[in-house]
């Protein structure tokens, strides 16, 4: 076991803000220094996604069995689909002293803060405005109209929580936002 406990970094943002875009860069730049927790979900797989890389895609009965077996560090119903973090994976990586990064909704972020206190640092990524968020979500073209509306309604609640976390970054120009995120993560894992 490592003497120094690893950092737990949670990235939280309303759907369509650009979190996946930023996470892709984080994944490339922090390879080997930051380990990403891959969540389980019952959501349908998107054409550009890979099972085991973006998520572990499982059926609803399987996910519910995992809940009853206490296999999640946190889980939530997000936009109508189950999403959850594997307890076994997180505990194993924490024992090794790894720095871990999570991409969670506000419910999951709150659970992580409750469970791990200051060891978990939450970074809220905000869109420049609600209107821009809607444009990005529609522009991505990966959801049905119903799914877009669910995400937009939930975004109002999520945006009202933007000031409740450890840090907040606006994703207006993607390069500016990424530079801020990069420096912040460097500082956090370097502490
Ligand atoms: P999320 O993972 O938060 O749901 P995505 O990363 O999929 O969001 O981004 C939503 C859409 O917005 C994508 O089409 C992406 O290319 C685009 N996008 C992301 N960041 C920016 C930005 N800073 N400026 C303009 N478009 C962006
Ligand atoms: P998407 O369906 O667009 O991939 O993700 C929708 C939302 O689910 C995002 O806010 C994302 O952060 C959140 N999410 C992804 N994995 C998990 C998880 O394991 N737990 C929780 N609580 N939320 C998650």
Do residues 18 and 105 both lie within one domain?
yes
Rounded to whole angstroms, the Cα distance separating 33 from 156 reads: 34
Predicted TM-score (pTM) of this structure = 0.95
Atom nearest to 24 CA in ligand 1: 6
23 and 94 part of one domain? no
Residue that wins the pLDDT comparison between 141 and 173: 173
Confidence (pLDDT) at 3: 55
Instruction: For residue 103, give the ligand nearest its CA.
Output: 2
- The percentage of residues in the chain with a pLDDT greater than 70, rounded to a whole number, is 98
Task: Answer yes or no: is 1 within a domain.
Answer: no
State the CATH number of the domain containing residue 12: 3.40.50.300
Ligand 1 centroid to residue 4 C-alpha, Å: 35
Residue of minimum CA distance from atom 14 in ligand 2:
104
- Verify that 72 and 93 share a domain, yes or no: yes
Average pLDDT over residues 16-29: 95
CATH code for position 91 = 3.30.63.10
- How remote is the CA of residue 12 from the centroid of ligand 1, in Å? 14
The domain in which residue 73 lies consists of 35-98
Q: Is the CB of 142 under 6 A from ligand 1?
A: no
Q: How far is the CA of 126 from the centre of ligand 1 (A)?
A: 11
Regarding the beta carbon of 100 and ligand 1, being less than 6 Å apart is answered no
Residues 23 and 111 in one domain: yes
How high is the pLDDT of residue 49?
Answer: 92
Number of domains in the chain: 2
Tens digits of residue pLDDT in 78-90: 989 999 999 999 9
Query: What's the CA angle centered on 173, arms 140 and 146, to 5 degrees?
Result: 25
Q: Are residues 135 and 156 in the same domain?
A: yes
CB 125 within 8 Å of CB 32: no
Which of residues 98, 116, 136 is at a domain's end?
98
Position 115 pLDDT exceeds 80? yes
Mean pLDDT on 123-128: 98
- Whether residues 107 and 184 share a domain: the answer is yes
């Amino acid at each position: 076991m490592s003497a120094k406990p690893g950092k737990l970094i949670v990235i939280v943002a309303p759907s369509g803000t650009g979190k996946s875009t930023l996470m892709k860069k984080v994944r490339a730049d922090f390879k080997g220094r930051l380990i990403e927790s891959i969540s389980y979900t019952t959501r349908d797989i998107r054409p550009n996604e890979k099972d085991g890389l973006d998520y572990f895609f499982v059926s609803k009965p399987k996910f519910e069995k995992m809940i009853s077996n206490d296999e999640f560090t946190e889980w939530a119903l997000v936009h109508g689909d189950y999403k959850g973090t594997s307890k076994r994976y997180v505990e194993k990586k924490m024992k090794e002293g790894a720095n871990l990064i999570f991409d969670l909704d506000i419910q999951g972020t709150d659970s992580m803060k409750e469970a791990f206190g200051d060891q978990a640092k939450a970074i809220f990524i905000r869109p420049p405005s609600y209107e821009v968020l809607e444009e990005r979500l529609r522009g991505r073209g990966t959801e049905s109209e119903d799914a877009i509306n669910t995400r937009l309604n939930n975004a109002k609640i999520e945006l009202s929580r933007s000031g409740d976390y450890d840090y907040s970054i606006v994703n207006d120009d993607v390069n500016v936002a990424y530079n801020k995120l990069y420096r912040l993560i460097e500082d956090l894992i370097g502490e």
